[in-house]
Amino acid sequence: MEMSELTALLTPEGLRLLDEVGTISSTAEVAQTVSRLRAAGHSPDLVSAVVGQAHLRAKGAAKFGGFAERMLFTRAGLEQATRLGVAARHAGRMRRAGISRLADLGCGIGGDALAFAGAGLGVVAVDVDEVTAAIAAYNLAPFGDDAAVQHGTAETTDLAGIDAVWLDPARRTAGHSETRRVMASDYSPSLDWAFALAERVPCGIKLGPAHDRDALPADAEAQWVSADGSVVELVLWSGILAREGVRRSALVIRADESHELTAGADAEDAETRELGAFVHEPDGAVIRARLIGDVARSLDAGMLDAKIAYLTGDAAVTSPFVQSFRVREVTAANPKAINAALRTHNVGTLEIKKRGMDIDPAAFRKKLNLRGSASATLILTRVGDKRMAILAERV
């Protein structure tokens, strides 16, 4: 979104027109609405802004639920925003630590700041991009003076009276639509600056989940977060925001429930063992946090292969940190053998998972005969040099 579009939108006429249009879910609706609004005499900037926002509001519901219906977005800002359910848990940590006022540096469209303000915390939200800061100000307007927005840089923000900092360094090139990832050495503000700040002020620093573990500060708590099966972020907590004795944690959020596994260091690896009656797939946050060994021992399970994140055991147990499957049959990992097993078990609906094998599941599916009424999960993996296919059912 350009400033001219935002200026046209932030008028009584523009906001009223946006409310009238509602949300737009498909590209066909976009074209139809553009034609209708242009025919009604609205300016190109206003039409572009209204239709763009109506489309983004439809997409924003996945991260912000019903709140998206009154928010404004940029395409890049929505893609990079923290999901509201995840941000709410960060806000809860701030409150439990006794934080009353914080700075959100690199606030983007204000997703995290919304959660902080909603939890009763005072927020100073800062973004270097003028359009993005203006959108954040609109999104945070219902909180009045409790959520102030500034157009500026993280490095020059006055932190007087601030108890803690939430920092989301820019990890992509500047822009409101098409952006690309940059090297960690090019983050803005720099990680050296961010880590130095975390030594002086309690901080939560949001990073990508695949960030180089060897580059993490040794004295920070590293928390990997997954939401509904996807690992969405790594947060480094410092000062009073870091829990005593915790250096590694995996926070697993599914729908409205959350579960967390914590440790003082990477877990000791579990021993390998032969395939048992069950296979367990650890959540991605557990894998990133290197806490697979702790999960394995809680399930009386071992590693199927020392280098592949599948666990196996005979105990009929599961946990929030894994997806569990009961083994039905094991075959060679080729279509002929698998099709024979599918016929035996009358499988017509198949979920395919793979680790340790260079296979495209979508292409592999085309080689399978799925004609039955039952459903199953096919796990394609290897043990050492041996490739295997495990036909299983979810527990």
In this structure, which long-range contacts are made by residues 26-35, counting pairs with CB atoms below 8 Å and at least 24 apart in sequence?
30/55
pLDDT at position 172: 77
User: What's the pLDDT band for 373 if we cut at 50, 70, 90?
Assistant: very high
Name the class of domain 82-263.
alpha beta
244-248: list long-range contacts, CB under 8 Å, 24+ apart. 246/221, 247/220, 247/221, 247/222, 248/221, 248/222, 248/289, 248/290, 248/291
- Averaged over 357-368, what is the pLDDT? 95
Listed in order, strand segments (DSSP E) in the chain are: 101-105, 122-127, 147-151, 164-167, 203-207, 221-227, 230-237, 248-254, 257-263, 278-282, 302-305, 308-313, 322-332, 347-354, 374-383, 386-394
pLDDT exceeds 80 at position 177: no
- For the segment 5-34, the average pLDDT, to the nearest whole number, is 92
- The predicted pLDDT at position 176 comes to 67
Q: What is the pLDDT of residues 268-324, one digit of tens each?
A: 999 999 999 999 999 999 999 999 999 999 999 999 999 999 999 999 999 999 999
Q: How does DSSP assign 337-363, residue by residue? A: HHHHHHHHTTEEEEEEEESSS---HHH
How much is the pTM? 0.91
CA distance 392 to 378: 6
Give the pLDDT of residue 340: 97
Count of C-beta atoms within a 10 Å radius of residue 70: 15
Q: Coil, strand, or helix at residue 194?
A: helix
Mean pLDDT of 35-51: 93
- Please determine, for residue 175, whether its predicted confidence score (pLDDT) is greater than 70: no
CB atoms under 10 Å from CB of 255, counted, come to: 8
- Cα-based torsion angle of the residue sequence 70, 73, 79, 81 in order, rounded to the nearest 10 degrees: -70
Calculate mean pLDDT across residues 361-367.
96
Element (H, E) at 93: helix 84-96
User: Which residues are within 8 A (CB) of 77 and not within 5 positions of it... i.e. 6 or more apart?
Assistant: 108, 109, 132, 135, 176
Which pLDDT score is estimated for 3?
87
> How large is the average pLDDT for residues 160-179?
85
Task: Flag whether pLDDT at 211 surpasses 80.
Answer: yes
The pLDDT score that the predictor gives to residue 324 is: 98
**Segment 248-259 mean pLDDT:** 94
Instruction: Output 35-43 pairs: Cβ under 8 A, ≥24 positions apart.
Output: 42/17, 43/8
pLDDT at 333: 96
Q: Domains of the chain: which residue ranges?
A: 3-73, 82-263, 278-394
56, 79, 80: which is closest to 69 by C-alpha? Answer: 56
For residue 83, the model assigns a pLDDT of 93
pLDDT of residue 185: 83
**pLDDT per residue over 115-131, tens digit each?**
999 999 999 999 999 99
pLDDT of 236: 98
Determine what percent of the chain is predicted with pLDDT higher than 70: 99
**Is the pLDDT score of 178 beyond 70?**
no
C-alpha to C-alpha distance for 192 and 153, rounded to whole angstroms: 16
What is the reported pLDDT for 217?
94
Q: How far apart are CA 119 and CA 147, in angstroms?
A: 12
Q: According to the model, what pLDDT value does residue 1 have? A: 74
Helix crossing, 111-118 with 44-64: angle to 10°?
A: 60
Find all residues with CB under 8 Å of 252, minimum gap 6, and list them: 226, 258, 259, 260, 261, 283, 285, 286, 320, 321
Among the listed residues 191, 187, 159, the one whose alpha carbon sits nearest the alpha carbon of residue 173: 187
Calculate the average pLDDT of the chain: 95
Placement of tokens 């959100």 in the chain: 104
